[in-house]
Structure 1
Amino acid sequence: MAATSFTLDDLRAVLLRAAGTDDTVDLDGDIADLDFADLGYESLALLETAGQIERTYGISLDEEAFADARTPRRLIALVNTHLSVSDAA
């Protein structure tokens, strides 16, 4: 997919597709700065999310950088950095 940006709505869709959601979490709310653990996503769910992003957007996320992206805002920034690099290539 030749996407030029990855948004919070894109992330919400990937999270739901890859790992579902906890009934107590409102992904439609202001979640950008919440820790993924607070949203009910543990490491296995996030690995599946990373895999979905990589396959859908044709990028490869660095494991260490991905592990440091503990909030939706940080993960979105990481994905957008990779999308910018692949657009420039």
Structure 2
Amino acid sequence: MTDFTLDDLKRVMRECAGEDESVDLNGDILDAPFEDLGYDSLALLETATRIERERGLSVPEEMLIEAKTPRMLLDIVNSPAHGEPTVSEER
């Protein structure tokens, strides 16, 4: 299975919570805190649930709480624990 990419994450984020007009998801968001992107914990939970369904994996809630940026979430989703290589650089 291929890595879940930043573009994949942006698509899911838009589907789950839309896009705040003041936030440009096309910009450099990899290390931007989710709250700065207009995504609260509920929106992030919905995003994670959708990723889990698409990827057929289960991410422990404790790990989701620790994911403060898109890079951190991608690292979790693509981690070896889920059978995927770890994200180490911007995609």
Q: If the length of structure 2 is used for normalisation, what is the TM-score?
A: 0.86
Percent identity, please.
55
Residue in 1 that maps onto 2:67? 69
TM-superposition CA deviations, 1:28-83 (whole Å, max 9, x none):
00000000000000011011001100111101011111110100000001000124
CA distance in structure 1 between the aligned counterparts of 2:30 and 2:83, rounded to whole angstroms: 19
Structure 2: segments with no counterpart, 5+ residues: 86-91
- Matching residue's letter, 2:40: E
Which protein, 1 or 2, shows the higher relative CO under an 8 Å CA cutoff with sep ≥ 6? Answer: 1
* Aligned-partner SS, 1:24: coil
Aligned-pair Cα RMSD in Å: 1.2
CA contact (8 A) 1:5 1:83 kept: no
Residue in 1 that maps onto 2:20? 22
Structure 1 moving runs of 4+ over 6 Å: none
* Aligned-partner SS, 1:84: coil
Q: If the length of structure 1 is used for normalisation, what is the TM-score?
A: 0.88
* Aligned-partner SS, 1:15: helix
- Matching residue's letter, 1:12: K
Structure 1: segments with no counterpart, 5+ residues: none
CA distance in structure 2 between the aligned counterparts of 1:84 and 1:13, rounded to whole angstroms: 20
CA distance in structure 2 between the aligned counterparts of 1:4 and 1:16, rounded to whole angstroms: 21
